Amino acid sequence: MRRALPLLIGLLAATSCLSPAARADDTLSFPVLVPLTGFLSLEGTSQRNGAVLALKQTPAGVAIASEVVDTGTSPEAAVTALERAAGSGTVGAVAASMLGTQMLAMLPLAQELKLPLVTVSGTASITEQGNPWVFRFFPGDAVTKSAHARYVVEELGKRQPAIIYQTTAYGQSGKAHLDAAFKALGVTPVFEEGVDPAAKDLLPVLTKALAAKPDVLVLHLHSGPTALLLRQAASSGVTLPIVAGSAMHQPSTAALLEPAELKGVCAETAASPISGDTPEVKAFTDAYRTAFGKDPDAFALGQYDGMTMVLEAVKAGARTPDAIRKALSSETFKGLAMTYKSDGKGNMAHSAVIVCYDGTSRVPTLVKRYADPTLAAK
């Protein structure tokens, strides 16, 4: 089992220069192609930061080059960015967009170019295409939505959920897995409705959901819509428990709300760095704050772990995209958030956590951890 490279704040220097022992032909490029504008900008910025921080860890004898490109929200922009990145030097692997529609668009090109895509996209279908070049370092919806539903039913004792989800590929994927998870628990939602990420007022859908007399609100929304709905729920005096998707755990989402507006809110996610339960995660959080002046989230930590595993492969001698792909496919890696191992499809992350807010702080408490039983059985 490989372990993460040491996290040293002194490694926060630029990575585009050659190290003293490296030659120009030893340079490997790791483009960071992520959404920095549009409705996924908060999540995409976290993803970028995690990748950038990891790529400061230059293995001896190899120079690491990296360029950050904003893919926006269109699939075409992501494909164009990947085409251009492939033509700039020797590319070892790509830190690829967490937006599901962009990942689905990039996958055929990545397979044609034979380039590993390292992502934290939660959209389940990206690892169901039979493509050996994709590696997801964030638990997919099959894992997180199971945890989401189980917490609602098993821990909160609620059996009449109202589900509000995004109309994007991410939202549709999460909704399908929530439906399956609740069905497995013998629960039928009393209300389900999708909302566009550009919606400026979610009070109408909230009003309809409450009219169905649920005993819990279950959200699967992006960051901005999550904050908007919670703000409108709080101002409307809603006292039902709310269990949200992974966007809620982000410090950047919590920052859009007052602590009191978070009372009774929980969320599923892969990890919560600011709740730091290990010295290593606390060290990562400190280094991230030093580098970017803000708190990290699970998307940043997952992308950090993913690119660190890539660099461990380089450290062990991998110098081609195929060699890096083989390492990601076969190795077990002890990262900061969890231990990663491919399931044969490129799903590397197999556990999820639930965090909750007490209404006095924007820092959540980790209250429950779920492991994927299919992985444990292997």
CATH 3.40.720.10 applies to domain 141-275+353-377: no
Query: By mean pLDDT, which of 23-32, 41-50, 211-220, 260-269 is the weakest?
Result: 23-32
Per-residue confidence (pLDDT) for residue 174, from 0 to 100: 94
Confidence of residue 60 (pLDDT cuts 50, 70, 90): confident
Per-residue confidence (pLDDT) for residue 1, from 0 to 100: 52
Q: What one-letter code names the amino acid at 17? A: C
What are the CA-CA distances from residue 301 to residues 24, 45, 189, 263 (Å)? 30, 12, 32, 25
Summarised one tens digit per residue, pLDDT across range 84-99 is: 999 888 999 999 999 9
Asked if the model's pLDDT at residue 378 lies above 80, the reply is no
Confidence of residue 244 (pLDDT cuts 50, 70, 90): very high
The backbone torsions φ and ψ at residue 192, rounded to the nearest 5 degrees and listed phi first, read -145, 130
Residue 347, token pair as written in the block:
């799903």
Helix, strand, coil distribution of the chain in percent, nearest 5: 45, 20, 40
Superfamily of domain 23-139+278-350: Response regulator (3.40.50.2300)
Confidence of residue 9 (pLDDT cuts 50, 70, 90): very low
Query: By mean pLDDT, which of 11-15, 169-173, 233-237, 244-248 is the weakest?
Result: 11-15
What count of residues does the chain have?
378
Q: CB under 8 Å to 14, separation ≥6 — which residues?
A: none
* Bridge partners for 27 per DSSP: 63
DSSP state for residue 34 in the 8-state scheme? E
Confidence of residue 162 (pLDDT cuts 50, 70, 90): very high
Arithmetic mean of pLDDT, 103-126: 96
Per-residue confidence (pLDDT) for residue 61, from 0 to 100: 86
Average pLDDT, the chain: 91
Arithmetic mean of pLDDT, 240-253: 96
3-class DSSP state of 117: strand
> 252 or 373: whose pLDDT is higher?
252
Summarised one tens digit per residue, pLDDT across range 122-133 is: 888 999 999 999
Summarised one tens digit per residue, pLDDT across range 291-314 is: 999 999 999 999 999 999 999 999
Per-residue confidence (pLDDT) for residue 88, from 0 to 100: 81
Residues of the chain with pLDDT > 90, as a percent, come to: 85
Per-residue confidence (pLDDT) for residue 25, from 0 to 100: 54
Asked if the model's pLDDT at residue 11 lies above 70, the reply is no
CB atoms within 10 A of CB 369: 13
Domain ranges of the chain: 23-139+278-350, 141-275+353-377
23-139+278-350 and 141-275+353-377 share one CATH topology? yes
DSSP state for residue 162 in the 8-state scheme? E
Per-residue confidence (pLDDT) for residue 173, from 0 to 100: 92
Asked if the model's pLDDT at residue 30 lies above 80, the reply is yes
What's this model's pTM, rounded to 2 decimal places? 0.84
Q: CB under 8 Å to 250, separation ≥6 — which residues?
A: 42, 43, 46, 223, 297, 298, 299
Confidence of residue 372 (pLDDT cuts 50, 70, 90): low
